[in-house]
Amino acid sequence: MIDTHICSFCGLQMEPGTGKMYVKKDGQIFYYCSTKCQKNHKLGRIPRRVRWTTAGRKALGKV
Tens-digit pLDDT profile for residues 27-52:
999 999 999 999 999 999 999 999 99
39 is in an annotated binding site: no
Contact, 9 vs 34, CB < 8 A? no
For residue 12, say whether it is annotated as part of any ligand binding site: no
Is 33 annotated among the ligand-binding residues? yes
Closest CA to 31 of 55, 6, 3: 6
pTM for the model: 0.88
| 10 labeled binding residue | yes
Whether CATH 2.30.170.20 fits 5-60: yes
Q: Where are the domains of the chain?
A: 5-60
- Say yes or no to pLDDT of 1 above 80: no
Calculate the average pLDDT of the chain: 95
Residue 2 has a pLDDT of 82
